[in-house]
């Protein structure tokens, strides 16, 4: 069986990749079948993983008596199924709001602190941290100017003219300079997939041709 799988695996990979790439030509039924198969496979895998987690982390600790309080999240999760019954559909709001509240709490306490407040603090204190190093001070000043000009660029309540317009123009340059490497990295990331696709074709052809 291992030999058969080794023989078929490159061709299966090439076939699946080709059905997805066929969308470049135009939308077609082969592409739709491939996308539906991918979504179905991902959904099936997600259901199995969640059921396994539900049993091992939820029901099993209750049955064993190690974590009897897990009955509370289990009951709350079962309330989600109330959405299928008109009379009791309001019960589904409880777990929905619970999950939203926890998500918002985590975001406000960690994401905003790290990505917003932390970035502001790093920008404003970069000059003092670079004291004694000329290049560090210059870098900190450029970062501060770039942040200010970029923020002004997204201020639409004032017309971009005169000195203000000049600052917003520099802000656009800073934005382009920061987005350029990001998009270049994105292209390189997808080019890596394309190279893997070519390698899979070569591996499939090696089964018949001496290449």
Contact (CB, 8 A) for 51 and 43: no
* Kind and range of the H or E run holding 9: helix 2-21
- Over the stretch 169-185, which tens digit does the pLDDT of each residue have? 998 998 888 888 888 88
**pLDDT for 85-142, tens place per residue?**
888 889 989 888 888 888 888 877 777 777 777 777 777 776 666 556 777 777 778 8
pTM of the model: 0.50
Task: Specify whether the CB–CB gap between 155 and 172 falls below 8 A.
Answer: no
* 148-176 confidence digits (pLDDT tens): 888 888 887 878 888 888 888 998 998 88
Decide if 76 contacts 98 (C-beta within 8 A). Answer: yes
Instruction: Identify which of 6, 45, 21, 55 has the alpha carbon closest to the alpha carbon of residue 190.
Output: 21
Q: 66: exposed, middle or buried (C-beta count within 10 Å: 0-12, 13-18, 19+)? A: exposed
Rounded CA-CA distance 102/140 in Å is 37
173 token code pair:
């340059």
Burial zone of 51 (CB within 10 Å; 0-12 exposed, 13-18 middle, 19+ buried): exposed
Domain borders along the chain are 130-211
């Amino acid at each position: 069986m291992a030999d058969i799988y080794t023989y078929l695996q490159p061709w299966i990979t090439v076939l699946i990749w080709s059905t997805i790439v066929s969308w470049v030509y135009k939308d077609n039924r082969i592409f739709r079948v491939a996308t539906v198969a991918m979504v179905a496979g991902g959904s099936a895998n997600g259901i199995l993983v969640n059921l396994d987690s539900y049993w091992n982390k939820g029901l099993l600790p209750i049955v064993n008596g190690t974590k009897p309080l897990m009955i509370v999240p289990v009951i709350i999760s079962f309330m989600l199924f109330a959405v299928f019954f008109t009379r009791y559909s309001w019960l589904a709001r409880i777990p929905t709001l619970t999950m939203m509240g926890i998500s918002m709490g985590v975001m406000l306490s960690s994401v905003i602190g790290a990505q917003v407040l932390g970035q502001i603090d790093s920008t404003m204190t970069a000059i003092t941290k670079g004291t004694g190093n000329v290049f560090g001070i210059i870098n900190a000043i450029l970062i501060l100017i770039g942040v200010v000009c970029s923020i002004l660029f997204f201020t639409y309540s004032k017309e971009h003219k005169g000195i203000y317009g000049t600052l917003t123009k520099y802000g656009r340059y800073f934005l382009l300079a920061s987005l350029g490497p990001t998009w270049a990295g994105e292209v390189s990331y997808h080019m890596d997939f394309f190279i893997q696709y070519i390698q899979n074709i070569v591996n499939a052809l090696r089964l018949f041709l001496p290449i």
